[in-house]
């Protein structure tokens, strides 16, 4: 997809299991930290020294390897702008910068590529929706500036092997970047950060929206070697995180117990979805994220509508490449998952 991002319809009230959000809300310590801010904190430009230091320690990398962003969306935009400017592409060659985007994919890759006048090179999904490494390698060309790898992927939850990411990083032209989007890292622990020492063309993107529940505060970061981050630092505005986001992020990172609790809820919820699918004879994909993609078949759109009538919102993904008949269900708070699965079973097994 390129063009404007289509914000999903906001669900008023009800159970929001359609946007991969943390439906438990953030840690209470985040609210305390924001409440403790004073009038001057609002009036002065924020200082990021402490929050950068603490984020780097949390990620286990040097401070110079971290760039905080206004949500991971801004990191994706910065990488797209920076990569489009790198190298000689467009300099009289007539080539437009290309982003390789394995499908199905998070919409913002296409939106950002379109915004810089680039071309999205879509890589068709495999039938099993696993990462199509060979097809991605085939799609890499001299005009490739950026390859997006999402692990775990959204909307499938499928994880990408580190070896496959390394193969892609070794195959891209000089100056091109491999953006490893780890928005859902918290729920599986996979990370490409260890690759950064040997592959300077890799950038890892993280968000604190999901596990830490800061989606509305907007806090994310990109992690890469300093020379790789330098062009992105020229794109991201100097005060991109507001003072509430910076204070909230520090508090969230300090509350390891909250994150452990929520990740545990996600793991239990995912298993519940798998078991329900098995019982109902539905195909679903093993997920490393806080959601599960389930193939409902012809009744997918009807199921989404009937769940919505009961105040349970899940996401219709039937239009995504490779996802015919599929819905994506956020698997977070166990009690929320129970409510959703029970309504789903009722609708699918009840009278037509
Ligand atoms: C794969 C992926 N990347 C990035 C983001 C955006 O994260 P943020 O809310 O921090 O901008 C999302 C949000 O859902 C996502 O699914």
Q: Cβ < 6 Å from ligand 1: which residues?
A: 20, 71-73, 106, 150, 154, 181, 183, 207, 209, 215, 220
CA distance 222 to 247: 18
Distance from the CA of 347 to the center of ligand 1, in angstroms? Answer: 30
**Residue 263: pLDDT above 60?**
yes
Summarize pLDDT for 275-325 with one digit per residue, the tens.
999 999 999 999 999 999 999 999 999 999 999 999 999 999 999 999 999
- pLDDT at site 86: 67
CA–CA separation, 63 vs 226, rounded Å?
9
Q: How confident is the model at residue 8 (pLDDT cuts 50, 70, 90)?
A: confident
**What are the pLDDT digits (tens) for 90-129?**
555 567 899 999 999 999 999 999 999 999 999 999 999 9
- Residue 343, pLDDT score: 96
Q: Whose CA is nearest to atom 2 of ligand 1?
A: 183
Query: Cα(28) to centroid of ligand 1, in Å?
Result: 23
80 Cα–ligand 1 center, Å? 15
Question: Quick one: average pLDDT of 17-43?
Answer: 97
Are 320 and 191 in contact by the 8 Å Cβ rule? The answer is no
Expressed in angstroms and rounded, the spacing between residue 153 Cα and the centre of ligand 1 is: 11
Residue 148 pLDDT class (50, 70, 90 cuts): very high
pLDDT at residue 2 tops 90: no
Residue of 209, 210, 213, 287 best suited for mutating to test ligand 1, as the one with most atoms within 8 Å of CB: 209
Looking from the CA of residue 20, the nearest atom of ligand 1 is: 14
CB 262 within 8 A of CB 30: no
Mean pLDDT for the chain overall: 95
Distance 115 CA to ligand 1 centre (A): 18
Nearest CA to ligand 1 atom 15: 183
72 CA → ligand 1 middle, Å: 6
- For a ligand 1 pocket test, name from 55, 70, 76, 106 the mutation site with the most ligand atoms within 8 angstroms of its C-beta: 106
Q: For residues 340 and 6, which has the higher predicted lDDT (pLDDT)?
A: 340
**Residue from 7, 16, 73 whose mutation best tests the ligand 1 pocket (most atoms within 8 A of CB):** 73
For residue 28, what are its two tokens? 């209470």
Mean pLDDT of 148-177: 97
Q: What is the CA(273)–ligand 1 centre distance, in A?
A: 22
Number of helices followed by number of strands (H, E) in the chain = 12, 13
Q: Which atom of ligand 1 is nearest to the CA of 153?
A: 1
Q: Check the CA dihedral 286-291-297-299 and report its sign.
A: positive
Residue 87 has pLDDT above 60, yes or no: no
What is the tens place of the pLDDT at every residue in 239-249? 999 999 999 99
From 8, 74, 108, 185, the mutation candidate for ligand 1 (largest count of ligand atoms within 8 A of CB) is: 108
Protein residue whose Cα sits closest to atom 7 of ligand 1:
72
Ligand 1 pocket test, candidate residues 72, 109, 156, most atoms within 8 A of CB: 72
What does the pLDDT read at residue 10? 64
pLDDT given at position 1: 58
Instruction: Tell me the torsion sign for CA atoms 220, 182, 5, 75.
Output: positive
pTM, 2 dp: 0.96
Residues 209-230, mean pLDDT to the nearest whole number? 98
**What order do you get walking across the sheet with 291-295 strand by strand?**
283-284, 291-295, 326-330, 315-316
Q: Cα of 155 to ligand 1 centre, how many Å? A: 11
Amino acid 11: pLDDT: 66
Return the structure tokens found at 123.
């890589």
* CA-closest candidate to residue 321, choices 30, 122, 23, 75: 122
Number of residues written out for the chain? 352
As a whole number of Å, the CA-based R_g of the chain is: 20
The CA-atom distances, in angstroms, between 54 and each of 47, 49, 50, 253, 288 are 13, 9, 6, 8, 26
| Amino acid 94: pLDDT | 65
Q: Measuring from atom 16 of ligand 1, which residue has the nearest CA? A: 154
- Of the pLDDT bands very low, low, confident and very high (cuts 50, 70, 90), residue 88 is very low
Asked whether residue 185 carries a pLDDT value surpassing 60, the answer given is yes
The pLDDT value given to residue 56: 98
């Amino acid at each position: 997809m390129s063009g404007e991002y289509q914000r999903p319809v906001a669900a008023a009230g009800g159970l929001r299991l359609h946007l991969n959000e943390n439906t438990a809300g953030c840690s209470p310590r985040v609210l305390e930290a924001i409440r403790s801010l004073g009038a001057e904190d609002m009036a002065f430009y924020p200082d990021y020294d402490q929050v950068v230091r603490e984020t780097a320690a949390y990620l286990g990398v040097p401070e110079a390897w971290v760039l905080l962003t206004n949500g991971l969306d801004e990191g994706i935009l910065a990488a797209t702008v920076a990569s489009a400017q790198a190298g000689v592409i467009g300099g009289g060659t007539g080539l437009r910068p290309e982003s390789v985007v394995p499908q199905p994919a998070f919409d913002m890759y296409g939106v950002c590529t379109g915004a810089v006048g680039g071309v999205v090179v879509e890589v068709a999904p495999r039938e099993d929706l696993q990462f199509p490494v060979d097809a991605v390698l085939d799609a890499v060309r001299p005009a490739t500036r950026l390859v997006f790898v999402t692990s775990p992927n959204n909307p499938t939850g499928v994880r990408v092997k580190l070896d496959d990411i390394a193969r892609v990083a070794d195959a891209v032209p000089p100056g091109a970047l491999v953006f490893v989007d780890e928005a859902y890292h918290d729920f599986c622990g996979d990370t490409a950060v260890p690759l950064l020492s040997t592959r300077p063309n890799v950038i890892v993107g993280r968000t604190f929206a999901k596990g830490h529940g800061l989606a509305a505060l907007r806090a994310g970061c990109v992690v890469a070697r300093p020379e790789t981050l330098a062009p992105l630092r020229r794109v991201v505005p100097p005060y991109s995180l507001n003072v509430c986001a910076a204070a909230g992020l520090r508090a969230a990172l300090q509350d390891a117990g909250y994150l452990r609790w929520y990740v545990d809820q996600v793991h239990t919820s995912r298993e519940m979805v798998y078991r329900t699918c098995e019982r109902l004879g539905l195909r679903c994909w093993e997920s490393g994220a806080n959601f599960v993609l389930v193939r409902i078949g012809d009744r997918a759109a009807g199921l989404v509508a009937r769940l919505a009538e009961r105040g349970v919102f899940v996401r219709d993904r039937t239009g995504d490449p490779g996802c015919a008949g599929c819905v994506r269900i956020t698997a977070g708070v166990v009690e929320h998952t129970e409510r959703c699965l029970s309504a789903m079973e009722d609708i699918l097994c009840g009278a037509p």
